[in-house]
Structure formats: C-alpha cells, structure tokens
Amino acid sequence: MSYLVTGGAGFIGFELVKALLKSCEKVYIYDNFSGSDPKKVLRLSDERVKLVVEDLKRPRVLREIVNEVDVVFHLAANPDVKASWSDTKAHLEDNVLATYNLLEELKKSKKQPLLVFTSSSTVYGEKEKSVSEDEACFPISVYGAAKLACEALISGYVGSGLIRSAVILRLANIVGGSSSHGVVVDFVNKLKTNPNVLEVYGDGTQKKSYLHVSDTVDALLLVERRFRDHKGLEVFNVGSEDTITVNEIAQIVCSKMALEPEIRYLNQFEGRGWRGDVKHFHLDTKKLRSLGWSPKNNSKSSIEKTVEELLFVG
C-alpha cells in the first residue's frame, strides 16, 4: 500500500506517517512547512518516505502523486481557530481552496484512491448535549465554517461520482507532546516564562473533550483499513468519552510542574477563550466505537500524558 499524507509534517500528520511506516510500501509527505519543522522529516532516514515541499493552494506535482497512491489522508489545514475571525481569508484559502484543489486532482486519478479527511468538532457549533454525526451543523467560528465547507465539497464530489469514496473524521481537541499550539502547550510555555502567574483565556469553566494523538492515529488507521475498498461517504466523530474543564487542565499542568501560580483570567468573551470558542462540547463516538475503535486515554489521561511529554520527553 502507498499513501499520501497532506500536512504530513504537521502535528497529527507526522505521527500518522510514523505509524504508516510500520507496514507501508511508500508514503508521500506533502507539506509547505508553514507551521512545521522539516528537520524532523529528514531525520526519518527511510527510503520509503518521499518528501514533497509544495503548497496545496498552488499544486504542481500533486496529480502525479494521486495517480500512484492507494489512500490519501488529507490533514493539511490552517489549524488556528483563535485567529480565524481576524484573518478570514487565510482559512478560506488554506482550508477550502486547498481541499478543492486536491479534489480536482483526485477526480482525474485513474486509481481513485480513498480520501480520508480530518474535519473538526467545531463544525457543529454550540450544542447542549453530546452530539452524534446526524446532528445539524451550525459553526460559530470561521475555522469551523471552513471545515464544514470542505466537508460539503467532499460530499458533493462523492455524491456526483467525481471521486469514488471518502471518510470524514470530526476530531475533538487533539493533544500530544509534539503539538505546537493548544491550551496545554500554552499553559506549559507561560509557566516556563513566568512560574508565578498563569493567564487563562475565558473564565476557566470551558468544558470539552480532549484526545491524545496516539488514539487519533489509531482511528485514522482503522477507517483506512475498513473503507479502502468502499464506495461512498462515511462520517465519524473522534473523541474521548468524557470532558474536562480548562481549570482542571490548569491544575494538572501546575501539579506536574510543581508550581502554585496565581491564576489570572482573561475573560473578554463571556467566559469563552476567544471569539467563536465553543464553551461546552462533547462528541458521541458510538458509531466509530462500533467498528472496534477504543481509545486508550480519556480526557484527563490525555492531558496528563501530553504534559509529561512536553516536560520530560521534549
């Protein structure tokens, strides 16, 4: 089996590439390195890895690659939810235009590889209960709207027979020691800079699901195995069964770092961390679990594992 991983040098993408190398014949890492380090890719030193430094907004060799691979994992995106309200065009181009360009090349591919797309729980918007894949989507951030637009494009291309098959995974908050952003990284970096004060965006009561990247990779590999010969579109939620508050995350980080800082809340958006932040959220993952997926970590252990990786593994 051969694979293309767009955003393959990114946080989730690189962990996926390492997992694929346990059994694959070839994997293309397709990345523009706008938010990732090319050195870690070069350190792989595996002849099965083919590095393509290119931007999906301006593809040049993409057509050749999609004619060769069996599966395309599309992870390339602008992941900055916080900045999506201030730079709306970036999310249109980095997420929607990039996905459109990929779909245009996939429709021309004689091989018709399976497409696996990582979407986001933010497509649902605000919900008062645990949400299943059938729930209506009303995003409250431009990031969520861009992800939903990508989903709609994929659905249209599959539904009209332009591409053979696709699987969409709506991810919860994914954490891990190799991440460069997010609440855990933010807290650790702030406390390293000033161990006496920890600034918290919002009122600290924001409550969401967090999942370790290793469990996320397991989900990606599972759907690829189950649907590589499938025709049509499937959608799955990916997240832990429980939730955790920002205050609880702060407590875990402070405990792991053996610190007792003053907590200062930057509460500008009615308890939210930023404009478009979904304050309380939980995904119903029964559909994916019915396929045999079972995460090894819940929200708390995902956070604890991530803090330890950031502090002690590097």
Q: How confident is the model at residue 82 (pLDDT cuts 50, 70, 90)?
A: low
Domain covering 176-208+241-280+297-313 in this structure, CATH number: 3.90.25.10
Least confident interval from 77-86, 226-235, 239-248: 77-86
Sheet holding 114-120, edge to edge: 49-53, 26-31, 2-6, 71-74, 114-120, 165-171, 232-238
Q: For residue 38, which of 19, 53, 56 has the smallest C-alpha distance?
A: 53
> Which residues of the chain does CATH 3.90.25.10 include?
176-208+241-280+297-313
Burial state string for 100-111 with b = 16 or more CB within 10 A and e = fewer than 16:
bbbbebbeebee
Least confident interval from 88-97, 218-227, 278-287, 288-297: 88-97
E-assigned strand segments in 144-196: 165-171, 173-175
Contact 280, 121 (CB under 8 A): no
Q: Integer distance in angstroms from the first to the last C-alpha of the chain? A: 32
Least confident interval from 43-47, 112-116, 237-241: 43-47
Enumerate the β-bridge partners of residue 235: 168
Amino acid type, 266: L
Catalytic residue status for 210: no
pLDDT confidence of residue 281: 92
Length of the chain: 314
Whether pLDDT at 85 is above 70: no
Catalytic residue selected from 143, 157, 201, 210 = 143
pLDDT in tens, 165-204: 999 999 999 999 999 889 999 999 999 999 999 999 999 9
Share of the chain above pLDDT 70, in %: 97
Domain covering 2-174+210-238 in this structure, CATH number: 3.40.50.720
pLDDT confidence of residue 83: 65
pLDDT confidence of residue 282: 95
Q: How confident is the model at residue 89 (pLDDT cuts 50, 70, 90)?
A: confident
Q: Return the number of other C-beta atoms located less than 10 Å from residue 248's C-beta.
A: 16
Whether pLDDT at 314 is above 60: no
> Which residues of the chain does CATH 3.40.50.720 include?
2-174+210-238
Backbone torsions φ then ψ of 183, nearest 5 degrees: -65, -40
Q: Are strands 244-245 and 207-208 parallel, antiparallel or unpaired?
A: antiparallel
pLDDT in tens, 278-294: 999 999 999 999 999 99
Mean pLDDT of 199-213: 96
